[in-house]
Structure 1
Amino acid sequence: MILKKIAYIINWIIILCGYILLIPLVLPNNMNGGFWVYEYEFFGTLYISFFAFIFGLFGLILALALQIKHLIIVSLILFILPFFAATFVLLFY
Structure 2
Amino acid sequence: ELKASVEKRANLEIESKCWCTYHSPEQVLLSNKESLSKLGFDYLDLYLRHWPTRFAESIELMPRDESGKIIFSDVDYVETWQGIEDCYNAGLVSLFIYC
**Would the TM-score normalized by the shorter structure come out above 0.5?**
no
Under a length normalisation based on structure 2, what TM-score does the superposition of the two structures give?
A: 0.31
Under a length normalisation based on structure 1, what TM-score does the superposition of the two structures give?
A: 0.33
Structure 1 or 2: more helix by fraction: 1
Structure 1 or 2: more strand by fraction: 2
